[in-house]
Amino acid sequence: MTDILKTIFESVLVGNKKGVSDGVQQAVDAGVDAGEILNKGLIAAMSEVGRRFEEGEYFVPEMLIAARAMSAGMEIIKPLLVKAGVETIGKVAIGTVKGDLHDIGKNLVGMMMEGAGFEVIDLGVDVTPDRFVEAARSGVNIIAMSALLTTTIPSMEATIKAIEVSNLRDSVRILVGGAPVTQAYAEKIGADGYAADASAAARKALEIVGRS
């Protein structure tokens, strides 16, 4: 890894937003390929952040500031990636299900997915089945649902049913998670995947689109 990519990588790890945007700008100015900045700088760093979180070395604040720093870098290279025709790995629409306003876990999952190279559309919280259906219709590859309340988990099943009824089930893969959700529940409602934490969710999403 070149020094400048190393700087970007390390700045993401410590959540140094300015360090990342300065580093990315410097790399762009020096003619480093945007795809390389993305893969070897930003994505590699977020994958390390995920590892540290899973191993209990990083906590929620470290994840959030790292993701914020990564986003600052993404802002700079996004137009270049589009111009160069670099395709994202896939599009994910993520939201917390109807009746549920918990968003910290959902945000972390979205950030880790972005950090893994996905284009992430954040539908926010309290997302009705209809809005997920709309997102599925818009051509996303993955619908990602988060729920934190016992009383809102059933909305996941309702959303899957609504997607089925709309004849969109074959065009999207569905990923579910959140504190009360389990692998068994995911299977029961016919989701394509479950993940226990944000970095496992990003890995699962990669697996789903055949990029793991």
Partner 1 sequence: MKLPTSDYDKPNVRRLLAALHHQESDRVPHIELWVTSQAVYEYVLERKLDYTIGDAAEGGQSIAPEDDVEFATRQGEDAVLCNFNWRPNNVFRLASDGTRHYVDGEIKGRQDLGKLDPPPNLDDQLNYLERYLHAAQGTGVGVIANFTSFFDSTMLAIGVNDSFMMFYDDLPFLEEMMDILLENQVNTMRAVCDRFGDDIALVMVNDDIGYNSGLFIKPDLFMQLFPERMKRLIAPAKKHGLLTLMHTDGKMDNIMPILYDVGFNAAHPIEPESNDIVEVKKAWAGRMALIGNVHTPLLAYGSREEIEAQVRDYCMKLGPGGGWVLGSSTSIMDGVKPENFVTMVEAVHKYGRYGSLEGI
Which backbone phi and psi does 102 adopt, to 5 degrees?
Answer: -70, 125
User: Based on CB atoms, which residue is closest to partner 1, 43 or 147?
Assistant: 147
Identify the bridge partners of residue 94 per DSSP, sorted by sequence position.
122, 144
The C-alpha atoms of residue 147 and residue 106 are separated, in whole angstroms, by 8
Under the criterion CB under 6 A, does residue 177 sit at the interface with ligand B1M?
Answer: yes
- Residue 19, number of CB atoms within 10 A of its CB: 19
Stretch that binds ligand B1M, among 66-74, 99-107, 131-139, 161-169 (CB under 6 A): 99-107
User: Based on CB atoms, which residue is closest to ligand B1M, 32 or 191?
Assistant: 191
- Residue 211, number of CB atoms within 10 A of its CB: 12
Under the criterion CB under 6 A, does residue 167 sit at the interface with ligand B1M?
Answer: no
Under the criterion CB under 6 A, does residue 90 sit at the interface with ligand B1M?
Answer: no
CB of 177 to partner 1, least distance (A): 12
CB of 37 to ligand B1M, least distance (A): 26
Residue 45, binding choice from partner 1, ligand B1M, none, Cβ under 5 to 8 Å by partner class: none
206 CB-contact burial (10 Å; exposed 0-12 / middle 13-18 / buried 19+):
middle
Question: Kind and range of the H or E element at 143?
Answer: strand 142-146
Q: Which residue, among 6, 67, 64, 66, has the nearest Cα to 32 in the 3D structure?
A: 6
Residue 175, binding choice from partner 1, ligand B1M, none, Cβ under 5 to 8 Å by partner class: ligand B1M
Instruction: Answer yes or no: are the C-beta atoms of 71 and 22 closer than 8 Å.
Output: no
Token digits of residue 201: 């969710």
Contact residues toward partner 1 (CB under 8 A) are 15, 56, 59-62, 64-65, 68, 98-101, 103-104, 107, 125-126, 128, 150-151, 179-180, 197
Site for ligand B1M in 119-148 (CB under 6 A): 144-146, 148
User: Based on CB atoms, which residue is closest to ligand B1M, 82 or 101?
Assistant: 101
Q: Distance from CA of residue 122 to its chain's centroid?
A: 9
CB of 14 to partner 1, least distance (A): 9
The C-alpha atoms of residue 184 and residue 165 are separated, in whole angstroms, by 23
User: Based on CB atoms, which residue is closest to partner 1, 39 or 183?
Assistant: 183
The SS3 call for residue 136 is: helix
Q: Which residues bind ligand B1M (CB under 6 A)?
A: 60, 99-106, 108-109, 144-146, 148-151, 175-180, 195, 197-198, 201
